Copies of this chain bind each other. A is one copy, B any other.
Amino acid sequence: MTRRSSSVTIREVAQQAGVSVATVSRYINRNAPVSEEVAERLEQVMTSLRYAPHAAARHLASRKTYVIGILLTNIPSDFFVPLLFGIESVVRPKGYNLLISTGQFSGHDDTSLPIGPHNTDGLLVYADSLSDDELTMLHSSNFPMVLIHRTAPQPLNIPSVTIENKAATYKLVEHLIMQHHKRRILFLRGRSHQEDAYWRETGYRSALEANGIPFDENLIISGEFEREIAYKSMTQFLENGKQIAFDAVFAGNDDAAIGVMTALMEHGHRIPEDIPVVGFDDLRLSAFLTPPLTTVRAPTEEVGRIAANQLFNLIEDKPTEGITLLPTEIILRRSCGCLA
Contact = CB atoms under 8 A, between A and B. Distances in A.
A292 B5 CA distance: 53
Interface stretch (A100-108, A164-172, A206-214, A272-280): A100-108
Q: How large is the interface on A (under 10, 10 to 19, 20 to 34, 35 or more residues)?
A: 35 or more
Interface string A287-312: 01111100000000000000000000
27 contacts: A5-B63, A7-B117, A7-B118, A7-B141, A47-B109, A52-B112, A54-B60, A55-B56, A55-B65, A55-B118, A56-B56, A56-B119, A78-B284, A80-B81, A80-B84, A85-B102, A88-B100, A88-B102, A92-B103, A97-B99, A97-B115, A98-B99, A285-B289, A288-B288, A288-B289, A288-B290, A289-B290
Contacts of A109: 47
B80 A76 contact: no
A60 B65 CA distance: 13
A176 interface: no
B76 A97 contact: no
Contacts of A78: 78, 81, 284-285
Given A47-B109, A261-B288, 12 more contacts: A50-B137, A52-B112, A54-B118, A55-B118, A55-B119, A56-B60, A78-B78, A80-B84, A85-B102, A97-B115, A98-B101, A289-B289
A114 interface: yes
Chain A contact surface mostly:
loop
A5 to B, nearest CB: 6
Contacts of A117: 7, 52
A59 interface: yes
A97 B102 contact: no
A339 interface: no
Contacts of A97: 99, 101, 114-115, 119
A263 to B, nearest CB: 13
A44 interface: no
Nearest to A291: B290
A112 B52 CA distance: 8
